[in-house]
Amino acid sequence: MIVTISRTYGAGAHDIATAAAQQLGYRLFDRELPVVVAARLGTSSDAVESVAERAPSFGERVMQQLGGGVPETAQPGMTTEDDFSEETRRAIEEAVREIAAAGNAIVNGRMAGAILGPRRDILRVFLRAPLAWRVAHVVESLGCSQTAAQEEVTRVDEARRSYAKEHYRFAWGDPRNYELIIDTSRFGIAGSADLLVAAVRAAEA
């Protein structure tokens, strides 16, 4: 069984995925996946991470509205940011499919659910929580201000939603695209992990 986890930012997905993987004896691909992809591309894991996690800048939005034209300063043969993003996306997709082919794994993020799609051996999970809970969780985890946490939660959620729509025509967060949705504010980290494990074992039966 392959578990793909989509999540709103601050919903505790890393801790939940880690706990569930330990209980199931599954391989976990979370912060490790960008490192694997970066090694293939000869770049940094931070660069890989940024591709699907950031919202487009004002300049990028303007260029998109103008039809995606190339700035006059770009020279033929140069590798643009769009080229890098596309290459990175293909490398992530290849890595996710290889993980799925090997079986018994949890993939946290990276649009794995959209990449693999609905299959009998895939359990697509969405972790969510109310905004106030997630902001408080981010403040506690990162030690930042509430204002900074709320801005980051909003930015990352919108980046993920836009990325899924643009590249996969996938409605991120739409209940129809997941077999299991968990409100982590209600069940907590341990309880949410237990629910995920129970769902996996039921699906395996």
CA distance 113 to 122: 8
pLDDT at position 47: 61
* Burial of 92 (C-beta count, 10 Å sphere; 0-12/13-18/19+): buried
pTM over 0.85: no
Beta bridge partners of 5: 108, 125
pLDDT by residue (tens digit) across 116-137?
A: 999 899 999 999 999 999 999 9
Q: For residue 183, which amino acid is it?
A: D
pLDDT in tens, the chain (205 residues): 999 999 999 999 999 999 999 999 999 988 666 555 666 666 665 665 656 554 444 433 433 344 433 333 333 343 444 445 787 788 888 889 989 999 999 999 889 999 999 989 999 999 999 999 999 999 998 888 999 999 999 998 998 999 899 889 999 999 999 999 999 999 999 999 999 999 999 998 8
Domain-wise residue ranges, the chain = 2-204
Pairing of the two strands 2-7 and 122-128 = parallel
* CB contact at 8 A, 104 and 1: yes
pLDDT averaged over the chain?
A: 81
Q: For residue 137, which amino acid is it?
A: H
* CB contact at 8 A, 166 and 61: no
Q: What is the dihedral of CA 133, 136, 142, 144, to 10 degrees?
A: 140
User: Concatenated DSSP letters for the chain?
Assistant: -EEEEEE-TTS-HHHHHHHHHHHHT-EEESSHHHHHHHHHHTS-HHHHHHHHHSPPPHHHHHHHHTTSPPPTT--TTPPPHHHHHHHHHHHHHHHHHHHHHH-SEEEESTTHHHHH-S-TTEEEEEEE--HHHHHHHHHHHH---HHHHHHHHHHHHHHHHHHHHHHH---TT-GGG-SEEEEHHHHHHHHHHHHHHHHHHHHH-
**CATH topology assigned to domain 2-204:** Rossmann fold (3.40.50)
* CB contact at 8 A, 105 and 119: no
The maximal CA–CA distance of the chain, rounded, in angstroms, is: 59
pLDDT at position 74: 37
* CB contact at 8 A, 34 and 48: yes
